[in-house]
Amino acid sequence: MAPGFVRQILFITAFRLLLNTGRRFVYPFAPALSRTLDVPLAAITSIIATGQFTSLLGIFAGPLADRYGYRIMMRAGLAVLAIGMLICGLVPRYWPVFAGLVIASFGKTIFDPAVQAYVGNSVPFAKRGRVIGAIETAWAGSTLIGIPALALIIDHVGLRNSFYLIALLGALSWLAMGVVIQQDAGRPIVQRHPGGFLSSMHQLIKARSAAGMLAFGFFISVANDSLFVVYGAWFEQAFAVSIVTLGFSTVAIGGAELLGESITALFSDRLGPKRAILIGVVLLIGAYLLLPIIGSKLGLAMIGLFLVFIAFEFTIVTSFSLCTEVLPEARGTMMAGYYASAGLGRMVGVLVAGVIWDRAGITGIALLSALCTVWGLIALLWGLFGWSPGAARHE
């Protein structure tokens, strides 16, 4: 890769780290937000849920990226982050902060599909896994770097000034994006269809490979969030762990995510994305089924959880690389659809997990996650049967 493009990837990764931190920091700092805004904790979790819902709205941003350019949408995402955080700082009361955080969260929803599509247009398919894996380290980086750094900042200057700081960094990132990517090298190749949005959505359904990947993203996201939303309750109930231990487990998950993303960058291109995803899915099913078997002791349970998140991150990040070639004439639309289907899966997983946990505990959750992943595997095999890079243009 040319040095100029490597520089672009480094800057884009830093921008994504900021956006990911802006969305994820609400989780650990929910009690601090509730105290600052003088509202119940449930009011803060409502912000989290609404923020997750914005991933579904991203399906509207994908066709816009295909029409008007990926750089434009990446800059729009950074601008939306800055605006949302500025609102939070200017009016630090519940409803303005609610609106500001949801707006800021939507910035990530706009930014992410455009980035993946930009890489899809700029990097040959045989080398794409390495680049996407590198960019995705910003997800783990938000847990390992962004949130701890923000905690120190909040401790020194307060929550309100932290909102201003993120807004300022978002604005500076918007300016830097215009310098780093001076021309939209990822200019989309899609033709403008008179049907507009409906025509773009029809492409996602008409191509079997695209429909199969959307179903795959939905099912594996149901599986993963079903476990993620109850693992804290599992550790508390089974092992009577302290809040410090739970905090350490979150860092361990961040480490697992980083390792999974790094493995993707190193090996997915060598294996080939199709084969890499199949390997990842098989390992993921095994890791889910292993949890209730080895989960009688805290150390083994944490190892099992670590294995789940390594396998999941490897699988999901590799699937991003594959998705960028599934619908090459509309990469932004495809990636937005994939993020939306995964977001819907996360919402369903959160809703279903509580019921399963109450009735069957970690064994029921592990079986549900494994079963959903099997369904995802079936959808993947159905969608990619006979598919090869470039074949989507003729579906």
Whether residue 141 is found in the same domain as residue 248? no
Instruction: Show which of 149, 180, 211 is a domain's final residue.
Output: 180
- 348 lies in the same domain as 222: yes
Per-residue pLDDT of 296-306, as tens digits, reads: 898 899 999 99
Task: Indicate if 150 and 201 belong to the same structural domain.
Answer: no
pLDDT, average across residues 236-247: 74
Q: How confident is the model at residue 391 (pLDDT cuts 50, 70, 90)?
A: low
144 and 22 within one domain = yes
Whether 395 is covered by a domain: the verdict is no
* Domain around 351: 196-384
What local confidence, expressed as pLDDT, does residue 216 receive? 98
Using pLDDT thresholds of 50, 70 and 90, give the confidence band for residue 46: confident
Output the CA angle 306-53-262, nearest 5 degrees.
30
Average pLDDT over residues 34-49: 84
> Is residue 394 situated within a structural domain?
no
Shared-domain flag, residues 156 and 270: no
> The domain that contains 205 carries what CATH number?
1.20.1250.20
In which band, very low, low, confident or very high, does the pLDDT at 66 lie, cut at 50, 70 and 90? Answer: confident
User: Residue 187 domain-assigned?
Assistant: no
Residue with tokens 């990911």: 20
CA atoms of 127 and 135, how far apart (whole Å): 13
Per residue in 315-342, pLDDT (tens digit) is: 999 999 999 889 888 888 899 899 989 9
- CB–CB of 60/187 below 8 Å? no
pLDDT of residue 365: 94
pTM: 0.83
Tens-digit pLDDT profile for residues 274-314: 999 999 999 999 999 999 999 889 889 999 999 999 999 99
Check residue 200 and give its pLDDT: 63
Which of 147, 180, 213 marks a domain boundary? 180
Measure the CA–CA gap between 34 and 153, rounded to whole angstroms: 18
HSE value, Cβ hemisphere, 13 Å, CA-based, for 393: 8
Q: How high is the pLDDT of residue 16? A: 96
Q: 308 lies in a domain? A: yes
**201 and 153 in one domain?**
no
- 75 & 205 share domain: no
Residue 311's closest CA among 364, 271, 257?
257
Count: domains in the chain: 2
The answer to whether residues 176 and 202 belong to one domain is no
The answer to whether position 188 is within a domain reads no
Last residue in a domain, options 180, 215, 244 = 180
Residue 393 forms part of a structural domain:
no
- Burial profile 165-193: b = 16 or more Cβ within 10 angstroms, e = fewer: bbbebbbebbebbeebbeebebebebeeb
When pLDDT is averaged across residues 91-118 and rounded to a whole number, the result is 94
Q: Which of 36-50, 192-206, 232-246 has the largest mean confidence?
A: 36-50
Q: Please state the φ and ψ torsions of residue 124, each to the nearest 5 degrees.
A: -55, 145
3-state helix, strand, coil in the chain (%, to 5): 85, 0, 15
For residue 192, the model assigns a pLDDT of 46
Mean pLDDT over 186-214 rounds to 67
Does 392 fall in a domain? no
Tracing tokens 């989290």 back to the chain, one arrives at 48
Residue 189 has pLDDT above 60, yes or no: no
